[in-house]
Amino acid sequence: MVPAPASRRAARSLRLLAGVVLAICGAAATFTASAEGTEAQRLRFRQAYAVAQQGGDAWKAQAAGLEGYVLFPYLEAAALEHDLRTLDRARVDAYLARYPGLIPAADLRRDFLGELARRKDWTTFSAMYQPGLGDSLSCFALQAKLARNEPLVFDRDLADLWKKASLPNACDPVIAAAHDQGLLTPERLWTRIQTAAEAGKGGTVASLAPWLPPEDAIAAQRIAQALNDPASALRTASTWPDTPRHRQAVTLALQRMARKQSTVADAAWSTLSPRFSLSEQQKGAIENALALFHATDFDESALERLATLPPGAQTDAAREWRVRVALARQDWKSALAALDALGESQKDDGEWRYFRALVLEKLGRKGEAQPIYRSVAQEATYFGFLAADRIDTAYAICPSSMATDEAREAALLADPGLDRAFELYAVGLQKLGRREWTAALAGRDADTQRLAADLAFRKGWYDRAVFGLSSGDALRLYEQRFPLARQDGVVEQASQAGIEAPWAYAIIRAESAWMSDARSGADARGLMQLLPGTAALVAKRNGLSWSGGDSLYEPTTNIVLGTRYLAQMAARYSGAPWLASAAYNAGPNKVDQWVEARGTLDPDLFVASIPYKETREYVARVMAFAVIYDWRLNGNALSIGSRMTRLGNTYSLPSPGAVRKPVACPAPAVAKAAPPTAPAVMEPAPAEASSAPAPQEPQR
């Protein structure tokens, strides 16, 4: 993370109540700070913080004069955290006394408790421990009790932990002690085994199995095997006894195997179904898994399997995949029957309303299709834009703005927690800033949270606006939710890379929601979520400088490399933004497989047939966001269909005079039927974890 751009954005932000100095009381009575740091304070803080992170007291000289700065407590905390292994309680207590209630104080207490546990200093640990600091420290507290030779009481000490499918390593000695004290009865062991099995935690099951009576232990071990290695479980399952626990193991193994190799699971099911007296519920779960994963492979038998599932085996996923398979086959009669079989709440979804209209149109029932298209076209979503194209009407985008309230804004800016949050953002410590933000706004009413998000937008902290304006009427605050951030060079770099700026903006918005320090579980980094290895190759291919993975947290660097990688993906698919977006999310090899299997489909049908839920929704989001960003940049927007060229056709960048679709609120053709309360844009509630991959549905 490079702090300079954040600082420059903050320096250009709107200064409310100019000339008024707000004295802000910190969390501790002895600590006061000014409302907004100066650039000189921020520069000195960054320098002192870098020194403090090395430990010791050298930071104090760097921090001279910052004693009244709102972030001053973070300096000493950074030094103490570095020196954790050598700290004594007196230094920690002194810090906690000076800054009670501050996040760095809570962190220091938690981390010092962990260090005391490492030292086995249970006396000091017990004196400083507070409940509610997480499972690890809860179990360390129980270890402290054991060290005092105090017996465990299950209902008091273990009941809450026992409800969890997995626990940290700190709990292992506690659970072993509970076993040695005779607290882990077979009934209690089976209760936790069932919890773990339902959560797919085979390791927990395997760890508990040896403590059961011999016959029960074998059954538990087979449940663990079914979860951890379903193939080996199924190879030996024909020798298992037909008991309730072994039936559970067989059911789990078949469900797991269906995800990996549906044909292998089919063969095992044919062999084992006569062997075990499974309940109707268990049979239904197995048949559902087999049908669902045959469907994601688009096997010949998939549609029939899904259509003939018993009522008790039907799930929302199975019903939806019945529609997807029929659409991919372009079997319109079967598709209509599948749409009719959806649950009532599913039928209301914009996706299935759009495809009902399309199927009716394909069946020659255009009169029935038109009103459905008109209804869906009221919504500023991927399917709403597709529907508007079908009936050649304007896109219904209804922007709104927030009323100003200087008194409430001043009160918010005077809030100590938000003050710290904004300053942490300004000095480039965004992760810490988000924690202060969340704590400061916890429990606040919706209007206050939206006002805070708008203030963040005006200060250039765009991800707070995106996350804070994600529901209700706030969805219409397009300026805040779809920031243009021209200072990061998106328009210029997209042009140089040979791609459209609205598409590049859409990728950033979908990938990171403008969180420049975003980092996924796969180590994708920054605004456009590039892997360091990929970024290095892109830099080499384009003759660009490369200074390592951390440079991806610098917005301009990330955008330069990200736009080139997008251009690379687009070139692979004849320039098509929609296919390149799918490749950006799922990888080009997967997209190539899908193109080979179903490349003759129209783009909307192809997207509906993508096996990965995450990628289906990602493509839809990016294409919708591209329309919105096009409108924000140009006043109107290219049709969504123009960016969704059929496979085999070459996509060309729009010329300066390209015809764009009008945008209206509501669309003229449906003025009476399109109240301004229609959904503003399709997107899930944003997750603070940024772009860590979502679970695939179904998942391979």
pLDDT per residue as tens digits for the range 666-679 = 745 444 444 433 44
Within its chain, how far is the Cα of 629 from the centroid? 22
- pLDDT bucket at 28, cuts 50 / 70 / 90: very low
Tokens of 260: 């990996």
Name the pLDDT band for 139 (thresholds 50, 70, 90): very high
Within 330-391, residue ranges assigned H as helices are: 332-340, 344-347, 350-362, 366-376, 382-390
662: pLDDT strictly greater than 70: yes
**Residue carrying the six token digits 């290895």:** 533
**CA distances (Å), 362 to each of 327, 336, 356, 392, in order?**
11, 10, 10, 17
Q: What is the mean pLDDT of the chain?
A: 90
pLDDT of residue 35: 57
Please report, rounded to a whole number, the percentage of residues in the chain having pLDDT higher than 90: 87
* pLDDT at site 286: 97
Peptide bond into 214 cis (omega under 30): no
List, for residues 423-435, the tens digit of each pLDDT value.
999 999 999 999 9
Look at the block and give the residue holding tokens 């706004």. Answer: 441
| pLDDT higher than 50, residue 690 | no
Question: Would you give the end-to-end CA distance of the chain in angstroms?
Answer: 34
The confidence score (pLDDT) of residue 686 equals 45
Helix/strand/coil for 523 = coil
486 vs 388 pLDDT, higher one: 388
Q: Say which residues have a Cβ less than 8 Å from residue 114's Cβ, sequence separation at least 6.
A: 136, 137, 140
Distance CA(558)–CA(152), nearest Å, equals 53
Per-residue pLDDT band at 681 (split at 50, 70, 90) = low
CATH T-level topology, domain 486-670: Lysozyme (1.10.530)
Q: What pLDDT is attached to residue 670?
A: 46
Bridge partners for 664 per DSSP: 396
What is the percent of the chain where pLDDT is above 70? Answer: 90
Give the residue extent of every domain in the chain.
1-14+23-130+416-470, 486-670
| CA gap 669, 96 in Å, rounded | 64
Six-digit token string for 572: 């692979």
Residues classed as catalytic: 511
What does the pLDDT average to over 202-231? 97
Q: Are 533 and 548 in contact (CB under 8 A)?
A: no
Q: How confident is the model at residue 656 (pLDDT cuts 50, 70, 90)?
A: confident
Give the lowest-confidence range in 51-60, 485-494, 548-557: 485-494
Is the pLDDT score of 696 beyond 70?
no
Could you count the other beta carbons within 10 Å of the beta carbon of residue 130? 11
Q: By CB neighbour count within 10 A (0-12 exposed, 13-18 middle, 19+ buried), where does 256 fall?
A: buried
175 φ, ψ to 5°? -65, -40
Residue 304: is its pLDDT beyond 60? yes
DSSP string, 316-343: HHHHHHHHHHHHHHT-HHHHHHHHHTS-
The mean-pLDDT minimum among 194-203, 354-363, 404-413 falls in 404-413
Contact present, 321 and 352 (Cβ < 8 Å):
no
**pLDDT above 50 for 216:** yes
**What integer is the mean pLDDT of 457-477?**
94
CB atoms within 10 A of CB 199: 14
What are the tens digits of pLDDT across the range 632-645?
A: 999 999 999 999 99
